């Protein structure tokens, strides 16, 4: 899929006239790319026999070792389904497991409050989603501090402004000044108010998941959200082999409303898995499949996302590492398994260990995004902002990632031969020792022919020096400021906006200020 020239260069890269130029551009509609339809082949790192070996070992783990489901309701569902249940340990026969997994649709539509932002997940479709869950931010002045609601608002605004981001996520950073029991209300309100793209749900308690669905019901209509996906929520298995009550509560709320969950073990490979990339994948696959299967006991046929978050740990310190070759290799294996099961699947794109938007961050990000794209991932999460193993969301990193996603979008969309005949005619027109700058073909295609980033600098040393000798991190913060300066809110209907405010006020009256 080749996006129009105006999309691929981004409107901010062509602005002129400073503040007045930005003001003139604010009246233009915000560019948003449609679902990325990958037109390049997936890459399978190992032969089919190796994929089958991992699959078989995963089934043996669930049949022989079993998985803990620490929730009475889940245990009753497994008993009724015929699984071998002893207290909270569930051993799942492979026939039962695969029958349940087969009920999950291979693709689904994820609806946005603006139908033009609605996307498809699964198959050859991919979407990019910002990061989630950072307690800290690296701000516009390059200071590391706790996140605030104002920061969260800003990141939702930037997600809305970024053409290649298909979702606003939700907890991009934690608004730390808001009491935890009430925080989820303001997180979801920010995502719904400041962007009209799809968003993500809250999973930290049953009540918070229910509040999320109530707010979605105000925006989309209660009848619509009973059956139609409008959000994606994340549930993590506690590796090794434990699905806890909090995650299962969230599963129950969202799956019963036909809202897709990411069933994703959170694996620190070498610590919560064996110190083996292949062994880790076999375990994580078992954990993910067990979670997927449970959703189908809750609501058969509900859309779900097979997932993983797998990083290696530094075996000297125990610290999680980001863009390592093993993390990329494990993505390729998980992608092959997802295709085997015909499941939409999630991985992460730009999750790095670097503390700054520096060369290390770039190397890590490239290692991981290449694997995410070539392994055929459908829901590519943590695609903007991630620093410091997820502890920090950086404004500069967010802006840089958003620009890089435009390039990845074009890369994965494949090569177009639409203008090949005209390009060949231009060669004949110019002949030897000429140049192509003034040809009709160049004039018609110069904007769309090549990716033209605005944060990366390709000028001469003299020009770069004359413009302040700014490093990439500085340029990224400038881009973030410009994105926020260009922002205009996609207004909610006033009745819907009032309904959200009223729900938040009523719930805040009932909720405590501290966690009991």
Question: CB of 331 within 8 A of CB of 368?
Answer: yes
3-state secondary structure 395-417: HHHHHHHHHHHHHHHHHHCCCCC
Please give the pLDDT value at position 446: 86
Please give the pLDDT value at position 15: 35
Determine phi and psi for 269, rounding to 5 degrees.
-70, 125
Please give the pLDDT value at position 13: 36
Sign of the torsion formed by the C-alpha atoms of 415, 420, 424 and 430:
negative
DSSP-assigned letters across all residues of 134-167:
BSEEE-TTS-EEE--HHHHHHHHHHHHH-TT---
Structure tokens at 109: 């539509």
For residue range 171-180, list pLDDT tens digits in order: 999 999 999 9
The continuous run of DSSP H or E covering 94 comes out as helix 94-101
Question: CB of 39 within 8 A of CB of 416?
Answer: no
pTM: predicted TM-score of the whole model, two decimal places: 0.92
Which segments of the chain have a pLDDT < 70? 1-29, 516
Structure tokens at 11: 């409107």
Please give the pLDDT value at position 16: 35
Please give the pLDDT value at position 108: 98
The continuous run of DSSP H or E covering 70 comes out as none
DSSP-assigned letters across all residues of 259-289:
--EEE--EEEETTTB-S-HHHHHHHHHHHHH
Angle at Cα 38 formed by Cα 37 and Cα 44, nearest 5°? 145
Structure tokens at 144: 């590391």
Question: CB of 219 within 8 A of CB of 181?
Answer: no
* Alpha-carbon distances of 177 from 168, 181, 290, 515, rounded to whole Å: 21, 12, 37, 14
The partner residues of 381 in beta bridges, in order of sequence, read: 348
What is the edge-to-edge ordering of all strands in the sheet holding 84-86? 84-86, 89-91, 67-69, 242-243
Please give the pLDDT value at position 25: 38
Closest CA to 193 of 503, 492, 494, 493: 492
What does the buried/exposed string (b/e) look like for 422-458 if buried means 16 or more CB atoms within 10 Å of the residue's CB?
ebeebeeebeeeeeeeebebeeebeebeebbbbbeee
Closest CA to 483 of 402, 405, 387: 402
Residue pointed to by tokens 């962007």: 195
């Amino acid at each position: 899929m080749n996006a129009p020239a105006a999309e691929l260069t981004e409107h901010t890269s062509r602005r002129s006239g400073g503040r007045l130029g930005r003001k003139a551009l604010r009246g233009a509609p915000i560019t948003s790319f449609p679902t990325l339809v990958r037109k390049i082949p997936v890459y399978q790192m190992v032969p089919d026999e190796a994929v089958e070996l991992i699959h078989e070992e995963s089934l043996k783990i669930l049949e022989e070792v079993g998985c803990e489901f620490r929730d009475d309701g889940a245990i009753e569902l497994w008993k009724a389904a015929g699984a071998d249940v002893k207290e909270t340990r569930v051993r799942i026969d492979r026939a039962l497991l695969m029958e349940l997994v087969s009920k999950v649709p291979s693709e689904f539509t994820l609806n946005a409050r603006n139908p033009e932002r609605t996307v498809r997940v699964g198959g050859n479709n991919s979407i990019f989603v910002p990061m989630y869950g950072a307690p800290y931010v690296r701000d516009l002045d390059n200071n590391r501090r706790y996140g605030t609601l104002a920061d969260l608002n800003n990141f939702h605004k930037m997600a809305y402004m970024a053409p290649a981001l298909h979702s606003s996520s939700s907890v991009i950073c934690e608004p730390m000044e808001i009491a935890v029991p009430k925080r989820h209300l303001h997180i979801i309100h920010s995502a719904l108010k400041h962007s009209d793209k799809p968003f993500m749900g809250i999973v930290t308690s049953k009540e918070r998941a229910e509040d999320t669905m109530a707010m979605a019901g105000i925006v989309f209509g209660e009848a619509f959200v009973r059956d139609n996906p409008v959000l994606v929520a994340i549930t993590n298995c506690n590796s090794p082999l434990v699905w806890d009550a909090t995650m299962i509560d969230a599963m129950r709320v969202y799956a019963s409303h036909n809202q897709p969950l990411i069933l994703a073990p959170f694996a620190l490979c070498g610590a919560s898995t064996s110190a083996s990339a292949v062994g880790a994948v076999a375990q994580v696959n078992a954990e993910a499949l067990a979670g997927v299967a449970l959703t189908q006991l809750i609501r058969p046929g509900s859309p779900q996302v097979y997932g993983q978050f797998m990083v290696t740990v530094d075996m000297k310190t125990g610290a999680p590492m980001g863009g390592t070759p093993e993390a990329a290799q494990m993505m390729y294996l998980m992608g092959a398994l997802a295709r085997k099961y015909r499941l939409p699947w999630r991985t992460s794109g730009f999750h790095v260990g670097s503390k700054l938007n520096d060369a290390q961050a770039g190397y890590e990000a490239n290692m991981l995004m290449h694997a995410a794209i070539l392994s055929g991932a459908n829901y590519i999460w943590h695609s903007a902002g991630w620093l410091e193993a997820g502890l920090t969301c950086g404004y500069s990193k967010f802006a840089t990632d958003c620009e890089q996603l435009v390039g990845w979008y074009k890369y994965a969309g494949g090569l177009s031969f639409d203008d090949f005949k005209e390009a060949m005619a231009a060669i004949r027109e110019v002949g030897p020792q000429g140049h192509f700058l003034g040809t009709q073909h160049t004039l018609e295609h110069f904007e769309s022919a090549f990716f033209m980033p605005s944060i990366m600098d390709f000028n001469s040393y003299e020009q770069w020096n004359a413009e302040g000798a700014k490093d990439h991190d500085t340029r990224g913060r400038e881009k973030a400021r410009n994105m926020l300066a260009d922002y205009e809110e996609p207004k909610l209907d006033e009745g819907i906006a009032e309904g959200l405010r009223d729900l938040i006020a009523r719930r805040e009256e009932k909720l405590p200020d501290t966690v009991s």
